[in-house]
Structure 1
Amino acid sequence: MKTYVLNTVLLFTVLFGSATVNAQNAPLTNTHNYVVLTKKIPQLTPIILTAEALKVEDGRDFGSFKVIICGKDIGEITTNKDMGDYIKRAEAAGVELIACGFSLQKFKIDTAKVPKAMKIVENGILYNFQLQKHGYKSISL
């Protein structure tokens, strides 16, 4: 009889204890946050179109949409004639454009020439992983 009672208590502890742990790990909101890591400036057009579509699809659940630009073509953010248009469209869509500081340094790009509307992070790849730890959905192009 003691074994039966002990097994029953143990069973309830496991069942309800794990339910409590799962409830604690569940997201508090249904907000959808996104991050895209890209190496090519022309990819900003389809990325921004995607953000616009997700904003409509997600409605109130649309959270943050960040685009991190890294790699050897990072200098194009200071020279591409369409960069101003990309920035305007991104802002209108609620997209934050971010430059990888490591790439800027490696390819000797003057940070003073980076558009003021863009945030610079120390390491774009690390920043991407940190955002993923906070639940961001991520893709690299």
Structure 2
Amino acid sequence: MKNISIITILLILFGIGSPQAQTVNPEKNNYLVLSKNIQQLKPVMLTAVELAKQDGNNYGEFYLIFCGKTVQGILKDGEFLRLAKQAKEKNLKIFVCGLSLKKFGIDPKDISEIIEVTENGILDGFQLTKKGFITLTI
């Protein structure tokens, strides 16, 4: 719990990489989830769908960034890739941290085109938070 608080504070103090380059509407409700567990994709996707219903015209962007050791499972987990395709169809944008890929020896070219690679997922989290994204770290 202490680590989540520290990461959240760090995210608030800093900014983001690839997702930051994307245009977002600051007058909409924009969401970001930073996760270290690919098993969280399904519940995050269900949450995004429900928030889109609840927010209606106020719903903006929903980004999910995976960082850490969990990136090793992205290449091997067929269920994850199936869910990632469904998530993309529901306008949930999935990113994987390039620093994490590098740390675990994964070539970004091996990542499915469904998932975008961002250079630094933590930096991206900070930058999106500064842009007003509602942020959760799980």
Q: TM-score, normalised by structure 1?
A: 0.77
RMSD: 1.3
Residue among 47, 53, 58 paired with 1:56: 53
Aligned residues: 114
Q: Which has the higher helix share?
A: 1
| Residue in structure 2 matched with residue 38 of structure 1 by the alignment | 35
Q: Which runs of structure 2 are paired with 1:107-118 in the superposition (5 Å)?
A: 107-118=104-115
- Aligned residue identity for 2:100: S
Shift of 1:29: 6.1
| Residue in structure 2 matched with residue 126 of structure 1 by the alignment | 123
Question: Unaligned 5+ residue runs, structure 1?
Answer: 1-27
Indicate the structure (1 or 2) with the bigger Cα radius of gyration.
1
Report which structure shows greater RCO (CA 8 Å, sep ≥6): 2
Question: Unaligned 5+ residue runs, structure 2?
Answer: 1-24
Percent sequence identity over matched residues? 37
In the aligned structure 2, how far is the partner of 1:57 from the partner of 1:30? Answer: 16
- 1:73 is aligned to 2:46: no
In the aligned structure 1, how far is the partner of 2:129 from the partner of 2:47? Answer: 19
Structure 1 runs (4+) deviating above 4 angstroms are none
